[in-house]
């Protein structure tokens, strides 16, 4: 029986080893073995309305507060008696969801970028690359109804 297209055992093992080595090199990726974000949050442009009195933490000027559904929350900060700022929480490096720390900063769990309470970058990601400031979102407060509309 002839087998012109057959691969010898040695050729097969050689090709398989190359494929495995290639996959391992890809898995190493950017050095941390991680491909992009581990925690993605769906972006949304849908306006979000919040009764400010229903979120007690929003009574404190300067405190970052998570507002909105878990899958698409934003950070909100009271900036004055009747003014608020809203900031997207998705890291601008590779899109991971940042965490709001008790010290009112954003920390990205993926490569450790840090942002101040205004969303400005204070530390670039570990391992290279760069992050830019977190985007702000329009936040309009209606004192008559105590309603904050974001987006």
If one asks whether residue 113 binds ligand FES (CB under 6 A), the answer comes out as yes
Using CB under 6 A, which of 50, 65, 89, 96 touches ligand FES? 96
61 DSSP assignment: B
CA separation for the pair 22, 27 (Å, rounded): 9
Query: At residue 34, what are phi and psi to the nearest 5 degrees?
Result: -115, 135
- The nearer residue to ligand FES, 58 or 92, going by C-beta atoms, is 92
Q: Which one of the spans 5-13, 60-68, 92-100, 139-147 is the region binding ligand FES (CB under 6 A)? A: 92-100
Residue 41 CB, nearest approach to ligand FES (Å):
12
Which residue reads 């934003």 in tokens?
74
SS3 state of residue 141: strand
Taking contact as CB under 6 A, which single stretch among the options 41-49, 50-58, 61-69, 107-115 is the one that binds ligand FES? 107-115
Nearest 5°: the CA angle 46, 49, 51 is 165
Which chain residues interact with ligand FES by CB under 6 A? 37, 91, 93-96, 108, 110-111, 113, 125, 131
């Amino acid at each position: 029986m002839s087998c012109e297209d057959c691969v010898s055992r040695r050729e097969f093992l050689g090709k398989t080893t190359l494929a495995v080595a290639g996959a391992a090199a890809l898995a190493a990726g950017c050095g941390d073995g991680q491909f992009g974000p581990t925690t993605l949050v769906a972006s949304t442009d849908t306006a979000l309305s919040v009764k400010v009195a229903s979120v007690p933490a929003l009574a404190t000027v300067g405190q970052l507060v998570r507002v909105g559904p878990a899958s698409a929350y934003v950070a909100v900060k009271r900036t004055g008696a009747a003014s608020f700022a809203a900031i997207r929480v998705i890291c601008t490096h590779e899109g991971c969801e940042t965490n709001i720390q008790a010290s009112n900063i954003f920390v990205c769990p993926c490569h450790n970028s840090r942002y101040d309470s205004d969303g400005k970058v204070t530390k670039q990601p570990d391992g290279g690359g760069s992050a830019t400031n977190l985007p702000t979102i329009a936040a309009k407060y209606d004192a008559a109804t105590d309603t904050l509309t974001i987006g």
